[in-house]
Amino acid sequence: QLQLQESGPGLVKPSETLSLTCTVSGGSISSSSYYWGWIRQPPGKGLEWIGSMSYSGSTYYKSSLKSRVTISVDTSKNQFSLKLNSVTAADTALYYCARRSVIRGFFDYWGQGNLVTVSS
Amino acid sequence: DIQMTQSPSSLSASVGDRVTITCQASRDISNYLNWYQQKPGKAPKLLIYDASNLVTGVPSRFSGSGSGTDFTFTISSLQPEDIATYYCQQYDTLVTFGGGTKVE
């Protein structure tokens, strides 16, 4: 059974960089059938897609976040990571990592989420 | 970016009621539309993919329809365990989620 687990700090100061890692177990991240992505959810609000990446390194980002986001993959560790720089309070959210089918476009496996609060 | 307008944002229904949620895309997305259910404190769960295909194991009271810009998600007979927030998601161009519908 595929499992995804986010890890990273729960508190980040304004203007600093948010860094999260997603560890994939029970399956390989090196599959051309899937993208690996990040979705966030501010407290009490809806889902916002941040971006996705293929194991080969192709990246896709939400337009409004593109200038601040980097998603990278480490196939040797079966992990992928999110970096979001110049954070503000508006970036406070529950951050999910998830697997996305390339063909069908759906997110079928999700992590449990990592709450990140931006505050001084 | 493609915008997804989901309505209503919330609704109140009783057990056995038929519940309908709509999702409108800002441009033609063919059938590249998925539906998710999210319960409090949990990650979203995929229910329907490609607008109308039910995920294996999901009860048949859930259904989806539509193509182009207008889509509908229906619960034919609401059950207590269906109390949740539902989201549509397009993948025609990048990814966008609808704003969600809280079913109470």
User: Given A61, A63, A110, which is nearest B43 (Cβ)?
Assistant: A110
Going by pLDDT thresholds of 50, 70 and 90, the confidence category of residue B71 is very high
pLDDT digit string, tens, across residues B5-49: 999 999 999 999 999 999 999 999 999 999 999 999 999 999 999
Residues of A in contact with B98 (CB under 8 A): 46
Contact B43 A96 (CB under 8 A): yes
Given a cut of 50, the residues of chain A with pLDDT beneath it are none
Contact criterion met (CB < 8 Å) for B99 and A104: no
Q: What are phi and psi of A25, to 5 degrees?
A: -130, 155
Q: Mean pLDDT in chain A?
A: 95
Q: Which residue among A46, A60, A110 places its CB closest to the CB of B97? A: A46
Q: Does residue B66 belong to the interface with chain A, where contact is any CB pair within 8 Å? A: no
Nearest residue on chain A to B49, alpha-carbon basis: A106
Structure tokens at B25: 């895309």
Q: Please indicate whether, in this complex, the C-beta atoms of B43 and A112 are within 8 angstroms of each other.
A: yes
The string of pLDDT tens digits covering residues A53-84 is 988 889 999 999 999 999 999 999 999 999 99
Q: Are A20 and A97 in contact (CB under 8 A)?
A: yes
DSSP labels for A29-69? Answer: S--TTEEEEEEEE-TTS--EEEEEEETTS-EEE-GGGTTTE
Whether pLDDT at B80 is above 90:
yes
Q: Which positions in chain A touch B99 (Cβ < 8 Å)?
A: 46
Q: Does B14 touch chain A (CB under 8 A)?
A: no
